[in-house]
Amino acid sequence: MKRASLRPVLAIVVAAVVAGAIITGLLPGYWTYLATAVLISAVALQGIGLVAGRTGMIALCQMSFAGVGAWTVGFLNVGGAPGGLAVWIVIGGLAAVPFGVAIGLPALRLRGINLAIVTLGFATAFDAILATITFPGQTRFISVARPAMFDGDGGYFVFALLFYVALAVALEFLARTRLGAIWLAVRHSERAAAAHGISIPRAKLSAFAISAFIAGISGGLLAGYLGTLVADNFSMMQSLVLFAVSTMTGAQFAEGALIGGILAVAFPEILRRLDLGQDIGNLLFAIGATQALSAGEAMSETLRRKVRGFRGARPAAPHPGVAIAPPAPPPRHQGVALATRELGVRYGTVVALHGVDLTVPEGAVVGLIGPNGAGKSTLIDAVAGFLHAYSGSVELGGRAVDGQPAHVRARNGVRRTWQTTRIAPELTVGDYLRLAGGDLPEEQVGAILSWIDCPHPDTPVASVDAGTRRLLDVAGVVAARPKVVLLDEPAAGQSYDETLKLGRRIAEIPNLFGCAVLLVEHDMDLVRAACSEITVLDFGRVIAAGPPAVVLEDPRVRKAYLGIEEGSAAA
Amino acid sequence: MTRLVVSGLRVDRAHLPVVRDVSLAVESGRISVLLGANGAGKTTLLEGLSGVIPVAGGTIEIDGHDIHRARPGARVAAGLAHVEQGRTVFRQLTTDENLRAGACAASDVAAAYELFPELLPRRDVPAGLLSGGEQQMLVIARALAGRPKILLIDEMSAGLAPTIVRRLMATVRRLADQGLAVVLVEQFAVLALGVGDRAYVLRRGEIVYDGACAALRDAPDMLHQLYLGGSGDGPA
Amino acid sequence: MNALLTSVVAGLTGGGAYGLLGVCAVFTYRLVAVVNFTAAAIGTTGTFVLVMLYEAGAPLWLAMACGLVAGTVAGIAIGLVMTAWFAESSASTKAAVTVALLVGIVAIGLRLTGGQHPHHFPDLFPGSAMRLAGVELTFSSLLTIGLGVVFTVLAETFLTRTRMGLHLRALSERPMAAELIGVPVRRLAVLVWGITGAVTTFSLMIIAPQRSPDFASLSLLVVPALAAALIGLFRSFWITLVGGIMIGVVEGTMSVFPGLSQYRGAVPFLIILAVLLWLQRGARWDEAR
């Protein structure tokens, strides 16, 4: 673990100790009591922040998961299970996990909107069930027993604080792992994530399971806080309000969850003291959430951007020395990296590709050119596994990959870039490279970035201009060192000089990284600079293939580009 | 007499300048041909003119009124029609419904069938089932049904057989002769230069040629270089 | 046996309302591409205007008219928020916005209607229409189902026969192409929101007397409505209508069995789950993004 990533963790712990000391030592008991409520809300918000804020799924049954946790704690309490409250709470969290997975499963592979509907449906169903079965001990007024040393208001505050800090630290670490980057990538673009070899269902399910666990913990904490519970504590409306608050404050970050917790407790409290309805607080959350969705930025995100802005004013650290060369490529066989056999694609009645045979030898840079609508992007989609159906076959290193989904093909050796860049802006440049390329050593990240003129690894992607992001796309796919990389118009939007420079870099890819390249590009100067061979598509068929100098002078190619034989239509 | 005057236009796509400092003038009865390789910024230029994407700088004037901030609907009302690339028919609507959706009055639909009699037997067929050529006729006819003064056509010939392209080019010439101002974006240069009056060539978002179509038509080497690059332009 | 039949028939009123609300959800989704979680809350707003006016002594017809107007206005207000700020947003962002708005509407609604304070909901169409095999068919059940059928027919006719319907279909298929041929995109979107606001209000007015009469519970009737829409795949009006009626009937049937009746609220969830699992045969993940 890097020292830089320990800083926020340290900050959380120090802040917690200071706040804990002030609140328990100086404030009157009622305030401590309220502060405990803040922490429990903040824990619940961290759970929804993970699934909604970080992974971008609409989950509307978070309080039902909390209800499962609370019910479990009540059950263990009434039954006099060993271990005491802390253990029961963890068991309660674990009990919520299978529910989370079960709700997430049916909505995994379909439009995200279905998840919103199914979770809201679960929340209603849970309301009905809970109202019927009631909480263990509810009718006999058996209160949940707190551990002796945390029994008072101050004590239970410390107890809740320990849970909050433990979860905040764990989540902060998790956010810095590859899994954390994967969640952000999935939120930003599922297709792009799959192209990096990420299994989308697994990414979503892991988020949902962990989020349900945290929700269950918050329910258990609430059980210990209130002693006895009623179904209303976990009603569907509470889940909806929680979603609004997390959207407003950005609960995917520890500070966002805490701000949300403070607002969720403070608003009703202030309104109560003013003799106004406490429910009006929800109106403010609704407005805040709508505003955040409209701005595309929650409170914690704004905060982080501002803080980053101040830090950004300092001079950027120098690039790592170019002297570190990327390591030698894996041993290369003189074979075929990628081949398509009789590849055919039709969209309804339109035939987009018509029995295309294309070969990319190992160590080669092959250009794929052709007029608009010739089928170039379709070919990339078919090869990378993003089309539902095609005829013929795609072979990677001599092995057919048909039938494999996109993320499996990516792991088996084909990586692609996109015409519009799809990098999650919340990542840093280094995070992205590690997401795309696997666990690269620090100096490798620096070396690859400086090879293609990308900024320092700690630079947030959000502050990188669009042209450089396209270079970062290229850096990402080569960092994974697949058998073949498919580059879809990498030079779009680059200036003339940058284009030629990019062409030289692309020509170096086979030697530096051991990957063959299939380059789709309109800029002929780039094609000439980078490619050893060119294949020309027109109307979904290969009309010419060979060395650039020969192919670009071919009359058939001129005709494809200029429409009609030159001169024949003049009149 | 209608004049579309564009000056200093800049259009960005994903924060990258794709069209930079473009100035051009288009008037009734004339066909202006806009040429350039793929990615040169032709489509983005048209989209900036019609309001599909917001422009980042410069002005667009129709008969002296600046419309560069107006919504697409308001630009339509000002007389601008944009036939997007990719034959954007409403696929689930029939041919006739497509025309009626764009028409001001029933007579406009009738006029459309007069211009493209090929569409009449296909009037009750969902537009998604028409051939590529028929779809191209339909989107042009649909745009004309709104009685525009200026017609922007993007990539009219992409993916169409040469005979259909000639047929469409002839129709566009006739429309211009009847008083329409036409901007024709084409990747296939030769035919377009055959019917056009004035030619603009875009390269990397900037106009690198502005002159008569005939002059460009007579210089095939220049054309070839514009599309396939190489000789004489930078260290290739 | 007779008890079972009676309960099934009793479920028809709810089912008709679910179907009608579901059809409105499909209408909204197909034409303005929003999965609207506020639908029932909009209807509830109008219904409570009716109730409050009625309690204040206004004649029923006037209260009802005012309620319908209020529901329409509420629908348009939501529509204006969506078109002004979220026209370019993704489907899931739009849905998230409506969830947030739902929280806000319920907050205002609970405040203005006195929270759980019980209200008297007038039965708009009391009495039974006829007896069938010894079972009473109420006016309201016939009316909601009839209205569901009428609205479905009207919606389809409106879309296929009128110029505005033509524009709406063009708009739903290619919004930009529609705008480029002069279709008044924003005005039409607001119209859709107004129509669905009025229709949801009417269906809630009919179903409200049979439900727990507080603002929050009524607003959450959006769940069975969306379940019905999901059965129709957010595409088919008829399948949605039938699906909604089916949900109501299953709920009604369950109420006969003492052990099951408390779990009626879980029915929409189970149906959603079943539909989603069925849909996943061979489907792939969300590749649109």
Report how many Cβ contacts below 8 Å link chain A to chain C: 171
Question: Residue A349's closest chain B neighbor by CA?
Answer: B129
Q: Do B128 and A348 touch (CB under 8 A)?
A: yes
What average pLDDT does the segment C91-117 reach? 88
Kindly list the distances between the CA atom of residue A269 and the CA atoms of A23, A26, A45, A261, B50, in Å, as whole numbers in the listed order. Answer: 17, 20, 19, 12, 53
C-chain residues near A201 (CB < 8 A) = 285
**ipTM (interface pTM):** 0.90
**Contact in structure between A35 and A27 (CB atoms under 8 Å):** yes
Contacts of A132 (CB under 8 A, 6+ apart): C262, C263
Look at C100 and A110 and tell me if their CB atoms are within 8 Å. Answer: no
> Which amino acid makes up residue B76?
V
Nearest to B72 among C167, C170, C180 (CB): C180
Beta-carbon contacts of residue A32 (< 8 Å; ≥ 6 apart):
A23, A24, A153, A154, A157
| Type and span of the H or E element at A233 | none
**Angstroms from C100 CA to nearest CA on chain A:** 5
Distance of CA A440 to the CA centre of its chain: 19
Q: What is the phi/psi pair of residue A569, to 5°?
A: -100, 0
Instruction: Confirm if C256 and C7 have CB atoms less than 8 A apart.
Output: yes
Q: Which residue among B77, B84, B101 places its CB closest to the CB of C167?
A: B101
Nearest to A434 by CA among A179, A174, A256: A179
Any A CB within 8 A of C250 CB: no
Determine the distance in angstroms separating the CA of C164 from the nearest CA of chain B, rounded to an integer. Answer: 9
Q: Where do we find the tokens 């059928």?
A: C149
Radius of gyration of chain B (CA): 17
- Is there a contact between C287 and A191 if contact means CB atoms under 8 Å apart? yes
CA distance B146 to chain C (A): 7
B interface test, pick of C30, C156, C174, C180 with most B CB neighbours within 10 Å: C180
Helix (H), strand (E), coil (C) string for chain C:
CHHHHHHHHHHHHHHHHHHHHHHHHHHHHHHHCCCCCCHHHHHHHHHHHHHHHHHCCCCHHHHHHHHHHHHHHHHHHHHHHHHHHCCCCCHHHHHHHHHHHHHHHHHHHHHHCCCCCCCCCCCCCCCEEEEECCEEEEHHHHHHHHHHHHHHHHHHHHHHHCHHHHHHHHHHHCHHHHHHCCCCHHHHHHHHHHHHHHHHHHHHHHHHHHCCCCHHHHHCCHHHHHHHHHHCCCCCHHHHHHHHHHHHHHHHHHCCCCCCHHHHHHHHHHHHHHHHHHHCCCCCCCCCC
- What letter would DSSP give residue B179? T
Among candidates B71, B92, B102 on the partner chain, residue whose Cβ is nearest the Cβ of C181: B102
Cα distances (Å, whole numbers) of residue A414 to A125, A432, B30: 45, 18, 50
Residue C71 has pLDDT above 50, yes or no: yes
- A106: which residues sit within 8 A by CB, 6+ positions away? A114, A118, C273, C276, C277, C280
**Rounded to whole angstroms, how far apart are CA atoms C151 and C147?**
6
pLDDT at C39: 92
Q: Does B136 have pLDDT greater than 70?
A: yes
Is residue C53 a contact partner of residue C63, using CB atoms and an 8 Å limit?
yes
Nearest CA in chain A to B189: A562
Quick check: C35 and C99 in contact, CB under 8 A? no
The verdict on C184 touching B (C-beta cutoff 8 Å) is: yes
pLDDT more than 90, % of chain C: 32
Contact A563 B158 (CB under 8 A): no
DSSP B37-86: -TTSSHHHHHHHHHTSS--SEEEEEETTEE-TTS-HHHHHHTTEEEE-TT
pLDDT score of C55 more than 80: yes
* Cα distance between residue C195 and residue C164, in whole Å: 13
How far is the alpha carbon of B212 from chain A, nearest alpha carbon, in Å? Answer: 14
Domains and CATH numbers, chain C: 2-288 (1.10.3470)
At B233 the pLDDT is 40
Q: Tokens 């015409």 — which residue?
A: A419
Residues of C in Cβ contact (< 8 Å) with A240: 99, 102-103, 106
Q: Does C85 touch chain A (CB under 8 A)?
A: yes
The size of chain A, in residues, is 571
Please give the CATH topology (third level) of the domain spanning B3-79+148-228.
Rossmann fold (3.40.50)
Could you tell me which of C41, C26, C37 has the C-alpha nearest to residue C223?
Answer: C37
Q: Over 60: is that where the pLDDT of B232 sits?
A: no
Q: Any chain C CB within 8 A of the CB of A279?
A: yes
Tell me the backbone φ, ψ of residue A36, rounded to 5 degrees: -65, -40
Mutate to test the interface with A, among C38, C88, C99, C278 (most CBs of A within 10 A): C99
Tell me which residue has tokens 């994903």: B14
Query: Are A552 and B128 an interchain contact pair (Cβ–Cβ within 8 Å)?
Result: no
User: CB distance B158–A493 less than 8 Å?
Assistant: no
Read off the pLDDT of residues B14-42 as tens digits, 9 standing for 90 and up.
677 889 899 999 999 999 999 887 778 88
Do A523 and A493 form a contact (C-beta atoms < 8 A)?
no
The strand order across the sheet containing B57-62 reads B16-27, B3-13, B57-62, B65-66
Helix (H, G, I), strand (E, B) or coil at A240: helix
Query: Mean pLDDT across chain B, nearest whole number?
Result: 86
Contact in structure between A352 and A345 (CB atoms under 8 Å): yes
8 Å CB contact of B18 and A563: no
Residue of B nearest to C175 (CA): B90
Q: Interface partners of A (3+ CB pairs, < 8 Å)?
A: B, C
Residue C119 pLDDT more than 80? no
Other Cβ atoms closer than 10 A to A273:
8
- Which chains neighbour C (Cβ–Cβ under 8 Å, 3 or more pairs)? A, B
Instruction: Tell me if chain B has a CB within 8 Å of the CB of C183.
Output: yes
CB proximity C73 to B under 8 Å: no
pLDDT band of residue B221 (cuts 50, 70, 90) is confident
Q: Do A283 and C268 touch (CB under 8 A)?
A: no
Task: Please report residues of B whose CB lies closer than 8 A to that of C184.
Answer: 73
Which residues of chain A register pLDDT less than 70? 1-5, 107, 109-112, 309-334, 348-349, 372-373, 493, 561-571
- Looking at residue A111, its pLDDT comes to 62
Give the model confidence (pLDDT) of A443-500 as tens digits.
Answer: 888 888 888 888 888 888 887 877 788 889 999 999 988 999 999 888 876 777 788 8
Q: Which residue has the higher pLDDT, A280 or C52?
A: C52
- The pLDDT score that the predictor gives to residue B98 is 94
pLDDT tens-digit readout, C143-202: 888 888 888 898 888 888 888 889 988 988 888 899 899 888 888 889 999 999 999 999
pLDDT at B138 over 90: yes
Question: Which residues in chain C are closer than 8 Å to B72, comparing Cβ atoms?
Answer: 176, 179-180
Rounded mean pLDDT, B150-155: 92
Residues of C in contact with A120 (CB under 8 A): 37, 222-223, 226
For chain C, say whether B129 makes contact (Cβ under 8 Å).
no
Distance from CA of C131 to the nearest CA of A (A): 33
**Contact, B133 vs B164, CB < 8 A?**
yes
**Any chain C CB within 8 A of the CB of A249?**
no
Spatial separation of the C-alpha atoms in residues A252 and A263, rounded to whole Å: 16
Chain B contacts in chain C segment 132-171 (CB below 8 A): 163, 166-167, 169-170
Closest C-alpha to C24, from C251, C203, C157, C216: C203
pLDDT in tens, B75-124: 998 999 999 988 899 988 999 999 999 888 889 999 999 999 989 988 89
